[in-house]
Amino acid sequence: MLRAYPPAVSATDLFSLANIVINLGISYANNTGGYAAETAKREPTLKAQFNSCQHEYDGIQLYLRMARGELKESPMSANYDIFRCTDITMYVKDLVGENRDSASKMFMDMTLQMENLTDVAIGATVALGG
């Protein structure tokens, strides 16, 4: 997953790699939340669902930022914060997972990718002692 991402390939130690993965997750959550916000504006019938999704992705960004700040001193706390993101992605999938429109399908694909990034970030914190 990370072989095509130059900063990850150039990481010199586990701590650097964990930071890179968390930063990638923050960026991805920001982009996915932005997609949800744009969809809420474009699709009036899905506005409430996608506004909620955008809010949830703000939460993912917050937890990942908290994890990044705790990574060096407390990898276990960082691991817990990242793990909380899995609850959010499950909730988001429940919100839009049954929808059949193309925007919801795209959002579900993005959310599945977020889950993959979260899993890698959890693994990185475990490798550091979390």
Say if residues 60 and 88 touch (Cβ distance below 8 Å): yes
- Give the tens place of pLDDT for each residue, 18-72: 999 999 999 999 999 999 999 999 999 999 999 999 999 999 999 999 999 999 9
Whole-angstrom distance, CA of residue 17 vs CA of residue 2: 10
Encode pLDDT of 78-115 as tens digits: 999 999 999 999 999 999 988 999 999 999 999 999 99
Sequence spans of domains, the chain: 13-127
Output the CATH code of domain 13-127. 1.20.140.40
Cα–Cα distance measured from residue 78 to residue 99, given in angstroms and rounded to the nearest whole number: 33
